[in-house]
Structure 1
């Protein structure tokens, strides 16, 4: 009987001692950032890889690079920057320019069209800078 009471007491304490309300942990969100500049090769060679370099701005001290947004649409590629944002009330608005390089494996014979996301216009429509890179054998 005492063992059952002890077990129930430990189970009760285990379930109630830890709060699932973690208000001390930061709250995160994700935000796409525009590509500021893009440097691409003049041409791709089929079967090889090529490096593309992009620059972007982190708009606040609470923004961090989270990865490259890279979406396939046929022979087109949409490119933007994924950022992680710490949602806090005290965040310095300091613009920091960053650079990122990535490899492209040239596996198609058609020209590649890169659509570098530049943000949105006043109507909320996406704005892209399109760069076509021809593929040679």
Structure 2
């Protein structure tokens, strides 16, 4: 019985290590621009809110898997949505908008300053859609 289990384990290991995968392709991740953001007019201290963020995917090779970087910078929050882009395969034009939400719990008394990534300027500096939300 032990030999039988070892044989099954060896076969399973061999098959799982087979790298002859026709579906494999290269990809990379990059930040994408925010088109719009829907935030409450004000936050009540201690409550949790959902900030709705809309991005645009350029073609059939762009995918959004609800990934974003969320950085703290004093009272500011910098939001960078991340897209998955397939490389080395043909893409078709398929522009579409995707909206996702970010939970925000109001835990500071100062206004929140949201900075949503909107690309780079000619000098390579990040551009942002900036929205300030007071806390009451």
Cα distance in 1 between the residues matched to 2:48 and 2:23? 45
The CA deviation at 1:96 is: 0.7
Q: Tell me the SS of whatever aligns to 2:34.
A: coil
Listed one character per residue, the Cα deviations across residues 32-63 of structure 1 (whole Å, up to 9, x for unaligned) are 10110011111101000112111110111111
Q: With structure 2 as the length reference, what TM-score do the two structures score?
A: 0.80
* Residue in structure 2 matched with residue 114 of structure 1 by the alignment: 114
* Residue in structure 2 matched with residue 77 of structure 1 by the alignment: 77
The CA deviation at 1:126 is: 0.9
Greater Rg over alpha carbons, structure: 1
Residue 94 (str. 1) matches residue 94 (str. 2): yes
Deviating beyond 3 angstroms after TM superposition, the runs of 4 or more aligned structure 1 residues are: 18-24
* Residue in structure 2 matched with residue 48 of structure 1 by the alignment: 47
Residue 29 (str. 1) matches residue 28 (str. 2): yes
**Which stretches in structure 1 are left out of the alignment for 5+ residues?**
1-10
* Residue in structure 2 matched with residue 39 of structure 1 by the alignment: 38
Cα distance in 2 between the residues matched to 1:92 and 1:123? 31
Q: Tell me the SS of whatever aligns to 1:110.
A: coil
The CA deviation at 1:80 is: 2.1
Cα distance in 2 between the residues matched to 1:106 and 1:29? 34
Cα distance in 2 between the residues matched to 1:69 and 1:92? 28
Q: How many residues align?
A: 122
* Residue in structure 2 matched with residue 4 of structure 1 by the alignment: none
Listed one character per residue, the Cα deviations across residues 10-44 of structure 1 (whole Å, up to 9, x for unaligned) are x9xx88xx665867511121011011001111110
Cα distance in 1 between the residues matched to 2:60 and 2:51? 26
The CA deviation at 1:87 is: 0.9
